[in-house]
Structure 1
Amino acid sequence: MTAKYTGPLPTHGRFDYAPITRRPDHAWPNGARLAVYLGLNLEHFAFGEGMGACIGPASPHPDVLNFSWREYGNRVGAWRCLELFDSLDMVCGTLLNTALYDHCPELIAASVARGDELIGHGHSNSERQGDMDEAGEAALLARCRARMLAESGKAPAGWLSPWISESHLTPDLLAEAGYRYTLNWCHDDQPVPMRTRSGRTLWSVPYPQELNDIPMIIARQMDAKDFAQMIIDNADEMVDQSRRQTLVMGVALHPYIVGQPYRLRHLRRALGHLARLRDEGEIWLTTPGAICAHMATVTSASAVAS
């Protein structure tokens, strides 16, 4: 059998390789070297069809066990998470299925009242946008953006695809729809500008697939206390690393998972540690949109200086 590839491999063409040790340096707005954000995924799922995370074996639809477990997040878990964030004076990035405007608008209103950033996350996590054609995907991005603007008074700057599912055109379509950043890529610890066919820059803000309760707690069966310790250890290590260069750390949370009381107890310990690092000036506790906006300013300033 002849090898299929004997030279350079196919590439996405969105950005070039650049080692983390050879990047321009800057500081975050408060002078810290590590930016940290919480990504709270608020999701809704169609009853009796479509995709969804599972706590037990998937059953033929209607899969009441797994549907109701996920719905606990909207009815109980998310509210407990918001109470925890309030107690620590923490803002978050709310990754939002627009189907929640029909299902539980009170929950979105609570996030808006807290001053959280609303980030586009599809209409529902029951489907993947990578399965759509170009027109269908473009329509989804436009509809979600328009709905969030109409309902909450502000269009989202960022996007996370349900199930991190992309087509080859997703970055192009995001930029053309007016989004300024994506959370889909997990290839770096710094924001990276991505090329698009229109010439507009789409920023890739790091989104975690390790500090993320779905792959860790559900897929790898990690205990909540160990997941909390991961957050603490990751933050402490990145604070040390950031003395050489500014970095970004995200924590991805799903309220039907971490909103369970025994897990929330451990999350409380981890977020308390982040709050102490914030109060000591070691981290900039912020949102993905603020990170993107700052990077655009830094990039513009560098262009002027050169």
Structure 2
Amino acid sequence: MTISEPTMSSHGRYTYSALPDRPVYDWPGGRRLAVYLALNLETFDFGAGLGAELAPGGPQPDVLNYAWRDWGNRVGAWRVRDMLDALGVPASVLVNSRLYRDCPGLIEAFRARGDEIVGHGRTNAERQGTLSEAEERALIAEATEVLTREEGRAPAGWLGPWISQSRVTPDLLAEAGYRYLLDWCHDDQPTWFVTRGGGRILSLPYPQELNDIPAIVARKDTGRDFAEAVTDAFEEMLEQSRRAPLVMGIALHPYIVGQPHRLRPLRRALERIAGQRDAVWITTAGAIAAHATERVK
């Protein structure tokens, strides 16, 4: 695989490939649909920086929206954890590295479940794609060092805060030892990205449709709307997967779906998926990437 020269209209990371023309392979157990939950655990700066908004924010400090997001770490995440425990479902936990300082015990609770810990920058008050290459490299190094120290091993995957990438982000992640990235929603299968120096990194499908921020914060869907979309997508992708192996991700933020009126319909949707575990592979992003590495050309 060789990189094509980037142009004004092309990134040069991968070439066009039609899904029906690709080789067919199976996930473990002969299954064709892999499902993973991406649980975003994030921290924000008080009185500064970026952050999702429940309502239009006023002058800083924006107490309304800061406190709403902070509720997710103090309350919502624990309710989501209990739900996942009851369902017996694993998660890929996307972690801002400063959470170890800001919310002691939170990441440790998901580690105790055996969940995958994925790199997600330092904080979601910033975007990495606006930084210089040296600054972005330093951000990746800092977050990686903290996660490696706390978890006892380096994270395999990365999602940029705010899905933010510069033109060299895949190169920097590959050079830092990452095996997969989650920022791109261009496919329903894992695909290889070419990186500089003859390297490569696997891109794993990360959802923007089945993602509670675009759905609920941006499109103003209700919790029932979101849960119904999850169920409909699952049933359709299960049918579509008869012809090709597919990946279905569900992106969750505790300050959104942890709210009781949204958690209840989400639980019903996830119960529907968990009830089909004999037919689908309910797993983590890292396990999907590891399985796909030897099968995706």
- Asked whether the two chains share a fold, i.e. TM above 0.5, the reply is yes
Partner of 1:269: 268
Partner of 2:135: 136
Instruction: Give the Cα separation in 1 of the matches to 2:243 and 2:30.
Output: 14
Equivalent residue letter for 2:284: T
Shift of 1:105: 2.3
Instruction: Give the Cα separation in 1 of the matches to 2:121 and 2:8.
Output: 31
Partner of 2:48: 49
Q: Secondary structure at the match of 2:35?
A: strand
Shift of 1:30: 2.1
Partner of 1:293: 290
Deviates more, 1:195-204 or 1:169-178: 195-204
Shift of 1:282: 1.6
Equivalent residue letter for 1:205: L
Q: Secondary structure at the match of 1:58?
A: coil
Equivalent residue letter for 2:53: C
Give the TM-score, by structure 2 length: 0.96
Equivalent residue letter for 2:245: T
Shift of 1:296: 1.2
Instruction: Give the Cα separation in 2 of the matches to 1:105 and 1:171.
Output: 30
Instruction: Give the Cα separation in 1 of the matches to 2:283 and 2:88.
Output: 11
Q: How does 1:1-306 map to 2 (within 5 A)?
A: 10-278=9-277, 281-299=278-296
Instruction: Give the Cα separation in 2 of the matches to 1:295 and 1:221.
Output: 35
Instruction: Give the Cα separation in 1 of the matches to 2:266 and 2:133.
Output: 40
Q: Secondary structure at the match of 1:130?
A: coil
Shift of 1:9: 6.0
Paired residues of 1:213 and 1:227 also in contact (CA < 8 A): yes
Q: Secondary structure at the match of 2:266?
A: helix
Instruction: Give the Cα separation in 2 of the matches to 1:204 and 1:277.
Output: 26
Instruction: Give the Cα separation in 2 of the matches to 1:20 and 1:189.
Output: 9
Q: Which structure 1 residue ranges, 4+ long, deviate > 6 Å from structure 2? A: none
Equivalent residue letter for 1:292: A
Shift of 1:145: 1.0
What per-residue deviation string (whole Å, max 9, x for no partner) do you get for residues 184-228 of structure 1? 000000000000002222000000000000010111110111110
Equivalent residue letter for 1:258: V
Shift of 1:229: 0.8
Instruction: Give the Cα separation in 2 of the matches to 1:54 and 1:9.
Output: 33
Q: Secondary structure at the match of 1:201?
A: strand
What per-residue deviation string (whole Å, max 9, x for no partner) do you get for residues 204-260 of structure 1? 000000000001011111011111011010000000000000000000000000000
Instruction: Give the Cα separation in 1 of the matches to 2:205 and 2:137.
Output: 23
Q: Secondary structure at the match of 2:196?
A: coil
Equivalent residue letter for 2:186: H
Equivalent residue letter for 2:113: R
Paired residues of 1:158 and 1:182 also in contact (CA < 8 A): yes
Structure 1: 5+ residue runs without aligned partners?
1-7
Instruction: Give the Cα separation in 2 of the matches to 1:293 and 1:105.
Output: 30
Is the radius of gyration larger for structure 1 or structure 2? Answer: 1
Structure 2: 5+ residue runs without aligned partners?
1-6
Equivalent residue letter for 1:128: R
Deviates more, 1:290-299 or 1:37-46: 290-299
Instruction: Give the Cα separation in 2 of the matches to 1:266 and 1:116.
Output: 23
Shift of 1:138: 0.6
Equivalent residue letter for 2:49: G
Paired residues of 1:100 and 1:108 also in contact (CA < 8 A): yes
Aligned residues: 291
What per-residue deviation string (whole Å, max 9, x for no partner) do you get for residues 269-306 of structure 1? 0110110111xx2210011111110011224xx7xxxx
Instruction: Give the Cα separation in 2 of the matches to 1:108 and 1:211.
Output: 23
Equivalent residue letter for 2:61: P
Deviates more, 1:193-202 or 1:34-43: 193-202
Shift of 1:112: 0.4
Paired residues of 1:176 and 1:198 also in contact (CA < 8 A): no
Q: Secondary structure at the match of 1:30?
A: helix
